[in-house]
Amino acid sequence: MFVKMEFSIMDAKSSYKGKVLVAGATGKTGQWVVKRLQHYGVPVKVLVRSEEKARIFGGSVEVAVGHVQDSNAVAAAVKGCDAVISALGSSSFSGEASPSEVDRDGVIRLADEAVKAGVAHFGLVSSIAVTKWFHPLNLFAGVLFMKHAGEEHVRELFSGEGRSYTIVRPGGLKDGEPMQFRLHVDQGDRIWNGSTNRSDVAELLVLSLWNPKARNRTFEVINEAEELQDTLNPYYEKLAG
């Protein structure tokens, strides 16, 4: 039965032809999302703030220029896409790069326009401890509260008929190649600390495009031990329905 399931996942992967919009594509995690999509031959569109920022992709992706604060720009970006993966993340405590502008309102706006455009699947990078009001990150501009508000909106919109979501809550993000660690996954926001490779977060979200076990799941993930992995698909088997 396990082998049969793996074949079905592989078949789904090889036949996935939908275009994926990556928001936050020029960030460290977003760049890994683009790399892993390209690894699997999935057409990629990126939402970037300027043409100059898109140069890091060397012309290998379709480019939409605009800010997540601009509904018209976001609507134009999601047009023609079958899925969205958001690696948006705030980089300042105030202004247009703040948690409220990016992690909450930016994600909400992206989800709203994605639904209007008929996008079927929404993948989101969030964080562990988003429900812990007394976490240190919530003492500074309510970073985790803003991420949780974005999560809630995605769940509300994409749990409906014909749509799905996958929300990954990683620990502290680290650089490194994918599938170098055995992972620990959990649900219910019970993990307080730990780290996760950005590349593995990207891999999990890309796999969610075709792995049915990833549909409508919110989960935490951290590195457990150094151990090469052939695939991260089995971690979706560990999640409760």
Q: What pLDDT, on the 0 to 100 scale, is given for residue 183? A: 98
DSSP string, the chain: -HHHHHHHHHHHHHH----EEEETTTSHHHHHHHHHHHHTT--EEEEES-TTGGGGGTT-SEEEE--TT-HHHHHHHHTT-SEEEE-----SSSGGGSTIIIIIHHHHHHHHHHHHTT--EEEEE--TTTT-TTSGGGGSTTHHHHHHHHHHHHHHHHTSTT-EEEEEEESEEE---TT-EEEEEESSS-----EEEHHHHHHHHHHTTT-GGGTTEEEEEEEEEE---S-STHHHHTS--
Total domain count, the chain? 1
Q: How far is CA 236 from the centre of its chain?
A: 15
Assign residue 177 the CATH number of its domain. 3.40.50.720
Please list the pLDDT of the chain residue by residue as tens digits (241 residues): 333 344 345 545 556 889 999 999 999 999 999 999 999 999 999 999 999 999 999 989 999 999 999 999 999 999 999 999 999 999 887 888 899 999 999 999 999 999 999 999 999 999 999 998 887 777 766 889 999 999 999 999 999 889 999 999 999 999 999 999 999 999 999 998 999 999 999 999 999 999 999 999 999 999 999 999 999 999 999 998 7
Question: Residue 24 and residue 97: Cα distance in Å, rounded?
Answer: 12
Q: What pLDDT, on the 0 to 100 scale, is given for residue 97? A: 85
pTM above 0.75, yes or no: yes
Domain range spanning residue 120? 2-237
Phi, psi dihedral angles at 86 (to 5 degrees): -100, 120
Q: What pLDDT, on the 0 to 100 scale, is given for residue 131? A: 92
Q: Which residue has the tokens 């089995």?
A: 234
Question: Residue 40 and residue 210: Cα distance in Å, rounded?
Answer: 11
